[in-house]
Amino acid sequence: MTEEEFLATYDPRAYPPVAVTVDVVAFTIRDGRLHLLLVRRAAPPHAGHWALPGGFVHPDEDLPTGAGRELAEETGVQAGALGRVHLEQLGTYGAPGRDPRMRVVSVAYLAFAPDLPDPAAGSDADEAAWVAVDSLGLPDAATLTGRPVQQRPGTTRKLAFDHTRIVADGLDRARSKLEYTPLATRFVGPEFTIAELRAVYETVWGDTLHAGNFHRKVLSVPGFLDSVGATTDRGGARGGPRARLYRAGDARLLHPALLRPSREEAVR
């Protein structure tokens, strides 16, 4: 093996070409539903199918930089203005044959953003849109816990390549990270109410939470929320007192964590 490796060290072009791409699983919340940024492929393979935004890594470009660039290209947000967008590496997918053209190793990134604008028209020849995740037919929390699945309206789309798996992995990661990191604050504006934060958890987890217990719980986690000292201008749309406003604190981990309800079933 050493000789082979030795040769490869000095002439890697002797190997069949491998392409490295960056794909982005970008989540946001719109109208109380979790949405995912997708682009419709114009060219084969999988022409006409929806796929994750992504593309080849540029020379001299770091992987997270490439992910931010791909995200910026599709959303129209300036790459430098992605300040409130959280970006983290999700995983790398490189099974032979996952792209019929050649060996493609794809590094997937996960992005969380507050409600971003619709993809800028004409920014790309491919159509791009925020698509409700629950229209993709992925197994959700309700499926896992045996409760009846309520398929939400919207066309069920089959994603190109292995992107359905990548999205499923990203969804798992997102659900898990809400438990022990302040990630949920990335889905809301810089100042938010506890009810808005709770809506994030309920949307991503696909479960309803007890408002009173949630309220006390998040306030008890050190460094999670900082009180702004002000309240909303009005009460809720259907009544209720004005809610206090909070900002994200400096905690990077939540301790104690906010555990999802009833995870025993998913343990085995």
Partner DNA sequence: AAAATAGTGTCTCTAAGACATTATCAT
Partner DNA sequence: ATGATAATGTCTTAGAGACACTATTTT
Applying CB under 7 A, does 237 fall inside the site for DNA? yes
Restricting to residues 238-257, name those near DNA by CB under 7 A.
Answer: 238-244, 256-257
Applying CB under 7 A, does 139 fall inside the site for DNA? no
- Rounded CA separation 264/246 (Å): 32
How many alpha carbons fall within 13 Å on the CB side of residue 178?
Answer: 23
SS3 (DSSP) at 56: strand
Q: Kindly report the backbone phi and psi dihedral angles of residue 189, in degrees, each rounded to the nearest multiple of 5, phi listed first.
A: -70, 180
Restricting to residues 205-224, name those near DNA by CB under 7 A.
Answer: 210-213, 215-217, 219-220
Among 33, 86, 105, 168, binds a second copy (CB under 8 A): 105
212 binds, among DNA, a second copy, none (CB under 5 to 8 A by kind): DNA
Q: Which is nearer to DNA, 97 or 229 (CB)?
A: 229
Rama region for 137: left / alpha / beta (φ>0; ψ in -120 to 50; rest):
left
Restricting to residues 160-189, name those near a second copy by CB under 8 A.
Answer: none
Q: Which is nearer to a second copy, 222 or 240 (CB)?
A: 222
Q: Which residues contact 130 (CB under 8 A, 6 or more apart)?
A: 28, 30, 35, 36, 37, 38, 116, 118, 119
Number of residues engaging a second copy in binding (CB under 8 A): 52
Cα torsion 157, 163, 169, 175: sign: negative
Applying CB under 8 A, does 124 fall inside the site for a second copy? yes
Which secondary-structure segment (H or E) carries 88?
A: strand 86-93
Q: Which is nearer to a second copy, 13 or 238 (CB)?
A: 13
Catalog residues that contact DNA under the rule CB under 7 A: 193-195, 210-213, 215-217, 219-220, 231, 234-244, 256-259, 261
